[in-house]
A and B are shown apart, each in its own frame.
Chain A
């Protein structure tokens, strides 16, 4: 009897722990698969480290060293010491000194500087006479966060800095008036900043993933083998895969801008044609980068993860979420390598500042260069054989 009972109770035991046993089998299998997938494993470590580094070190919501220009219509000692004082605040870094209003406007329009200080003709004499002349400070307020901090502290900071150089009595009285002008977004409406930014961010995300999956999908479905045996060149595969999505991206951009204009009242001051043209360039650049990812990774999961790896710094370092000028130099250099950084400048400049092609030459060239680089890597990385 006991000989019959023993296996029966063993079976009962097994049944009771069946849930654990089967879960354990599944768990062991998952661990083995995770261990084999080196790229996924690397991402598990890389993503949080990257995020921490970027948030911890690169992101600084109080902008410093804002690129600035000075329109000098009078070269006087007083003008010089005011500039010096401004620079000492660490808010401003004067990169350009111009003598014509047109040059001054172009610098602001193209986004090369975020601040401009205008010292009018006869400024020093007017100060000595006690006329309280106006010192004009123009801020690019397309990014209200970056602009408002600097504008807010302007008066105080200048006053303290000039105490020694100027004849400021006690109680302090400013011998001149600072007239700050928030250009392009006088109401400091954040939607004006965010909507154009969203065009770029959404396009980056969708375009990247469209093409990042394209080659791995062919490999995983087994169609790549047939395709490689047919007389088609890597460049031809690439163009065939990119072009349809250019149209998709174009439609998407149109939709976002349409909603931005219709619902949020974001203006499009510049040429719509130029906006469409440069958006197409940006879309193609992202598609090329996605395609490059596709030729490097081994499966669709890796493609998604690598797209995230690219997307995250794009959001954080491009100036979409945090002021670009506030980041340390190394983060700015990194940011310059991201297409989104250049496109944000382009799209904000065209929509909010009415910028023209001449103002945007640098960012356009940067986008084109990134696109060509990605395409070259993709074509050379594309394996023509199964070796």
Chain B
């Protein structure tokens, strides 16, 4: 079986600069067909730029690759026909109704029965009764559902979702992810960028990108294992003072409060343990060695990449 059949996205060495500033640096990635691939990283890390390159909205300065088997430089038109792209900012027509927006998309992609397709999608989205409401008047959660509906309407093979759940309530977020899993089960490949760790954990594979560099990728477990991060969870009193005292000590790469506990992590376990030793016997504190969370790994990666690239 050739790689073209089970790989949806296969790009190598993508680079893109804006006004002399490199936004994406030598980025290579592979996404399997039918999988949900999470794209994580801080703001301005190059996630949106990468997604735009993949759907032909931007041309890379260098690098090459294929999207659904089509060359990202030469076959942008063919890619556009098979890819659904959901932009970060709501980009349907606010002054068109739900039905009119969907019919517009359906006609643009040459769906034979545009009205019927729009009607079916409205039913699937649970928007029945709101067909004639203007898109601009919908709440955030409904707007996002409608946007997802609009990109899935032409039956794409690949969905590119750019921070689709930003500013959406938890219930709507959960429904949205259930929908994405349902779509992936039907064979659709989904690449989704997000800031939320719980969403990252719902992806089959994830990639972490910061300052244009792809720093880690794989399944959640793989990414955590790759980081070789040792983490202690501390609970007790006066955690703020403890955090201040530990920050910057040898072997301690990261100190982060999580609710009523404090996560203390480092890559050099021996040095970490030396540094925390004086505090371990302190009364009122409970130390527990724990598995680093994905968030620990990312915050550590982010901190490290900031040192390296900024």
Contact = CB atoms under 8 A, between A and B. Distances in A.
B109 A225 contact: no
Given A222-B87, A222-B91, A386-B52, A229 B105 contact: no
Interface string B185-211: 000000000000000000000000000
B58 A385 contact: yes
Contacts of B94: 221
Nearest to A384: B76
| B-side interface size class | 20 to 34
Interface stretch (B77-85, B234-242, B263-271, B290-298): B77-85
A230 interface: yes
B109 A387 contact: no
B137 to A, nearest CB: 15
A229 B57 contact: yes
A229 B83 contact: yes
Given A385-B57, A386-B58, A387-B59, A229 B90 contact: no
B164 interface: no
Given A229-B80, A230-B109, A231-B81, A223 B92 contact: yes
Contacts of A232: 108
A39 B174 CA distance: 46
B38 interface: no
A229 B109 contact: no
Interface string A215-229: 000000111111011
B87 A225 contact: yes
A228 B57 CA distance: 7
Residue from A221, A230, A384 whose CB has the most chain B CB atoms within 10 Å: A230
Contact of B59 (A222, A223, A228, A385): A385
A223 B93 contact: yes
B59 A229 contact: no
Nearest to A233: B77
Nearest to B55: A229
A230 B80 contact: yes
B171 interface: no
Nearest to B89: A222
Contacts of A221: 91, 93-94
A228 B55 CA distance: 10
A385 B105 contact: no
Secondary structure call for the B interface? loop
Interface in B230-289: none
Contacts of B91: 221-226
Most buried by B among A224, A226, A228, A384: A226
Interface string A194-237: 00000000000000000000000000011111101111100000
B54 to A, nearest CB: 10
B111 to A, nearest CB: 12
Given A229-B80, A231-B81, A386 B92 contact: no
B59 A230 contact: no
A224 B52 CA distance: 13
Given A223-B93, A386-B52, A229 B85 contact: yes
A387 B93 CA distance: 23
Contacts of A387: 58-59
A231 B109 contact: yes
Contacts of B55: 229
Contacts of B58: 385-387
Q: Which of A224, A231, A232, A384 has the most CB of B within 10 A?
A: A231
Nearest to B95: A221
A231 B108 contact: yes
Contact of B77 (A224, A226, A231, A386): A231
Contacts of A385: 56-59
Given A232-B108, A387-B59, A222 B85 contact: no
Interface string B76-120: 110011010101011111100000000001001100000000000
A171 to B, nearest CB: 79
Interface string A266-303: 00000000000000000000000000000000000000
A230 B56 contact: no
Interface in A343-387: 384-387
Given A221-B94, A387-B58, A387-B59, A226 B109 contact: no
Nearest to B78: A231
Interface string B28-56: 00000000000000000000000010011
Nearest to A223: B91
Given A222-B87, A222-B89, A222-B91, A229 B108 contact: no
Contacts of B108: 230-232
A228 B94 CA distance: 17
A222 B87 CA distance: 9
B102 to A, nearest CB: 13
Nearest to A228: B57
B261 to A, nearest CB: 41
Given A228-B57, A230-B109, A231-B77, 10 more contacts: A223-B92, A226-B92, A229-B87, A230-B105, A231-B108, A231-B109, A385-B56, A385-B57, A386-B58, A387-B58
* 7 closest cross-chain pairs (CB), A and B: A226-B91, A229-B85, A222-B89, A231-B81, A231-B80, A222-B91, A225-B87
Interface of B: 52, 55-59, 76-77, 80-81, 83, 85, 87, 89-94, 105, 108-109
5 contacts: A221-B93, A222-B91, A230-B80, A385-B59, A386-B57
